[in-house]
DNA sequence: AATGCTAAGATGTCAGACCAATTTGGCGGG
DNA sequence: CCCGCCAAATTGGTCTGACATCTTAGCATT
């Protein structure tokens, strides 16, 4: 019984890829931001003229990649904007204990973080420098006031990453932080974690301001050494 | 109306997570290696007592993470052994053009690669050193004989990554290479790509042999500088 | 023994139904 | 008029069954 030729001539290969691409394209074209809600599965289904299971498998794909999140009864939400051209690079880390995973990740982070600060020292514009200093001042203010500074510390480092004018640094380092926040026993939030690294933030800023790449590397290493010691201490 | 208590008492939360965990556990317990075939969907279905769609969504999850691969009509195959405890860290990279992506990635790679070589210089055992030198000798032999050495060059660097005793270095750097091999116009394989970096491989080895971390960093930087110049030249 | 064909088995997709959680809107009481 | 409660609509989660398509292996023919 001839289903006549084809309204949808695409059965060629890989409908799944087509759907993930279509989803990514929609996200891009609709200018969706993190937190925005995506169309319901049944809407996508009729819009793309594919079965619901196909839609769901595409959603699961992005879910695994940390791009979207589903909330039962509510909808699916965007976590990180993507496009069809986005390159996904999933890493799998196998270690015995969490402590080991943390330290190994820190070792890699040391390489990336040092390079980021060196590049920032070389490529930063005056505007970048102003932003970094603002975040540093805010961080120091909060630190002195409350004795600790979680979000402000992060903001300071992110400002440095942005000063590299290479988005990969921010994406990589931010994602590494996030991943371990998931596995961390949140309630810990030790008030004194990495507190000893506090003074090196100002010296790191000075190095970047002076465009002194080697000094920037030195100061970054000092900060990370404190982090390493504290991780070893806490997870003992 | 009592469906009586429960054959499957688990509807609690997250059946999907349960299935991915079950799959990961099976992979671990069955000692599956890369390339091995997993049970058919319908087998898993009856074994775990869940619907086929649930199984498929779990498979799609691992597929997105690069853990398994499905071949229509054949089966699903394991790419990277995992366990329930495996930490997955998906990275998403957004860049404009390929040239830009290559250079930005290289910038990050410089950080990681330098750190890897420095750590290798510090932590390498004598056995690691022997392996590295074997790969170096083979690479030099092929290079002199054929004028180029793609796989042998890779093997040399992988041996260095392994000498760090931190699996993350190998995973990250190998994955970065792989990812761009996908997007590369394969036919390129320019015979002279990075050829000028050839002599620095021996000096890098000497630095690692001498446990001289700073020298290892210097030689690695020289290699990567050649790579950067060649990328700029070729993608012009 | 080599070859070609068929059937079994696998994944890929679609459709329909029901469940459970959330959201929404209307209704009634304050 | 406002607030709170409850029911209906919406939405993701799962199961079942069916069919298509590709792969593989075994069988029969030459």
ipTM of the complex: 0.83
Rounded mean pLDDT, B28-41 = 94
One domain for residues A73 and A115: no
Model pLDDT, residue B208: 96
Question: Distance, angstroms, CA B74 to C1' C7?
Answer: 15
Any domain includes A91 = no
Inter-chain touch A90–B88, beta carbons under 8 Å:
yes
Any domain includes B183 = yes
Model pLDDT, residue B19: 86
- B93: which strand partners? A87
Any domain includes A10 = no
Model pLDDT, residue B41: 96
CA trace torsion B18, B64, B115, A234 (10° rounding): -20
Q: Is B193 a residue whose pLDDT tops 60?
A: yes
3 state DSSP class of B69: strand
- B71: which strand partners? B75
Inter-chain touch A91–B119, beta carbons under 8 Å:
no
Nearest to B111 among A88, A105, A115 (CB): A115
Q: Which residues of A touch B176 (CB under 8 A)?
A: 89
The larger pLDDT score, comparing residue B233 to residue B120, is at B120
Any domain includes B134 = yes
Any domain includes B68 = yes
CATH (domain of A57): 1.10.10.10
Q: Is B6 a residue whose pLDDT tops 50?
A: no
- B154/B117 Cα distance (integer angstroms): 14
Nearest CA in chain A to B103: A166
One domain for residues B150 and B34: no
One domain for residues A152 and A211: yes
One domain for residues B24 and B108: no
Q: Of the residues B78, B111, B127, which one is the last residue of a structural domain?
A: B78
Q: How far lies A225's CA from each of A101, A201, B135, in Å?
A: 16, 13, 33
Question: Distance, angstroms, CA A58 to C1' D15?
Answer: 19
DSSP string, chain A: ----S-SS--TTS-HHHHHHHHHHHHHHHTT--TTPBPPPHHHHHHHHT--HHHHHHHHHHHHHTTSEEEETTTEEEESS---TTPEEEEEEE--SSHHHHHHHHHHHHHHHHHHHHHHHHHH--HHHHHHHHHHHHHHHHHHHHHS--HHHHHHHHHHHHHHTT-HHHHHHHHHHHHHHHHHS-TT---TTTTGGGHHHHHHHHHHHHTT-HHHHHHHHHHHHHHHHHHHHHHT-
Model pLDDT, residue A213: 95
How many Å lie between the alpha carbon of A147 and the closest alpha carbon of chain B? 32
Inter-chain touch A179–B114, beta carbons under 8 Å:
no
Q: Is B27 a residue whose pLDDT tops 70?
A: yes
- A63/B105 Cα distance (integer angstroms): 24
Query: Using CB atoms and an 8 Å cut-off, which of residues 16-45 of chain B contact chain A?
Result: 16
One domain for residues B191 and B121: yes
Q: Which residues of A touch B116 (CB under 8 A)?
A: 111
Any domain includes B30 = yes
One domain for residues A178 and A74: no
| Closest nucleotide to A12 by C1' from CA | D21
Model pLDDT, residue A190: 62
Any domain includes A85 = no
Number of domains in chain B: 2
- B45/B41 Cα distance (integer angstroms): 6
- A165/A122 Cα distance (integer angstroms): 11
Closest CA relative to residue B76, chosen from B43, B44, B37: B37
Neighbours of B21 (CB within 10 A): 15
Using an 8 Å Cβ cutoff, are B121 and B208 in contact? yes
Q: What is the CA radius of gyration of chain A?
A: 22
One domain for residues A225 and A112: yes
Query: Using CB atoms and an 8 Å cut-off, which of residues 63-122 of chain A contact chain B?
Result: 63-67, 80, 82-83, 85-95, 101, 104-105, 107-108, 110-116, 119
Using an 8 Å Cβ cutoff, are B89 and B64 in contact? no
Any domain includes A107 = yes
Give the range of the structural domain holding residue B37, as residue numbers without chain letter.
Answer: 15-78
One domain for residues A35 and A109: no
- Which token pair is A191? 């008030």
One domain for residues B43 and B151: no
CATH (domain of B230): 1.20.120.530
Length of chain A, in residues: 236
Please give chain A's pLDDT, 236 residues, in tens: 333 444 454 554 677 788 899 899 899 988 999 999 999 999 999 999 999 999 999 999 999 999 999 999 999 999 999 999 898 989 888 887 878 888 899 999 999 999 999 999 999 999 999 999 999 999 888 888 877 777 888 999 999 999 999 988 998 899 888 877 766 655 455 667 777 888 999 999 999 999 999 999 999 999 999 989 988 887 76
3 state DSSP class of B143: helix
Question: Distance, angstroms, CA A78 to C1' C18?
Answer: 28
Using an 8 Å Cβ cutoff, are B135 and B156 in contact? yes
Q: Which residues of B touch A175 (CB under 8 A)?
A: 89-92
One domain for residues B137 and B207: yes
Q: Is B2 a residue whose pLDDT tops 50?
A: no
Question: Distance, angstroms, CA B112 to C1' D20?
Answer: 48
One domain for residues A114 and A224: yes
Nearest CA in chain B to A94: B86
Using an 8 Å Cβ cutoff, are A111 and B120 in contact? no
Contacts of A230 (CB under 8 A, 6+ apart): A190, A193, A194, A196
pLDDT tens-digit map of B74-109: 999 999 999 998 989 898 888 778 788 888 889 999
One domain for residues A38 and A122: no
H helices of chain B, in order, are 15-29, 41-48, 52-64, 98-123, 126-146, 150-163, 167-183, 198-209, 213-234
Question: Distance, angstroms, CA B165 to C1' D11?
Answer: 48
Nearest to A89 among B93, B166, B167 (CB): B93
Q: Which residues of B touch A89 (CB under 8 A)?
A: 90-93, 175-176, 179
- What mean pLDDT value characterizes chain B? 87
Nearest to B112 among A80, A94, A112 (CB): A112
- Which token pair is B229? 């110049």
Rounded mean pLDDT, B40-65 = 95
Model pLDDT, residue B183: 64
Residue of A15, A17, A64, A119 to mutate, interface with B, max B Cβ within 10 Å: A64
Inter-chain touch B90–A64, beta carbons under 8 Å:
yes
- B98/B104 Cα distance (integer angstroms): 10
Model pLDDT, residue A2: 37
Model pLDDT, residue A81: 94
- A117/A126 Cα distance (integer angstroms): 15
């Amino acid at each position: 019984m001839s289903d006549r030729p084809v309204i949808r001539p695409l059965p060629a290969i890989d409908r799944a890829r087509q759907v993930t691409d279509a989803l990514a394209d929609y996200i891009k074209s609709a200018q969706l931001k993190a937190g925005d809600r995506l169309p319901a599965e049944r809407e996508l289904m009729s819009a793309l003229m594919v079965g619901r299971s196909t839609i769901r498998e595409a959603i699961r794909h992005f879910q695994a990649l940390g791009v979207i999140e589903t909330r039962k009864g509510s909808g699916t939400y965007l976590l990180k904007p993507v496009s069809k051209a986005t390159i996904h690079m999933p890493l799998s880390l196998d270690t015995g204990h969490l402590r080991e995973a943390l330290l190994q990740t820190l070792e890699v982070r040391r390489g990336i973080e040092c390079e980021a600060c060196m590049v920032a020292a070389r490529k930063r514009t005056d505007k970048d420098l102003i932003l970094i200093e603002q975040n540093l001042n805010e961080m120091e203010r909060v630190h002195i006031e409350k004795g600790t500074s979680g979000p402000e510390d992060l903001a300071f480092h992110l400002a440095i990453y942005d000063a590299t004018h290479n988005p990969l640094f921010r994406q990589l380092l931010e994602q590494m932080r996030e991943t371990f926040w998931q596995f961390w026993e949140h309630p810990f939030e030790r008030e004194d974690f990495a507190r000893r690294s506090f003074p090196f933030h100002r010296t790191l800023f000075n190095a970047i301001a002076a465009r002194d790449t080697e000094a920037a590397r030195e100061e970054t290493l000092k900060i990370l050494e404190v982090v390493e010691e504290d991780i070893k201490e806490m997870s003992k």
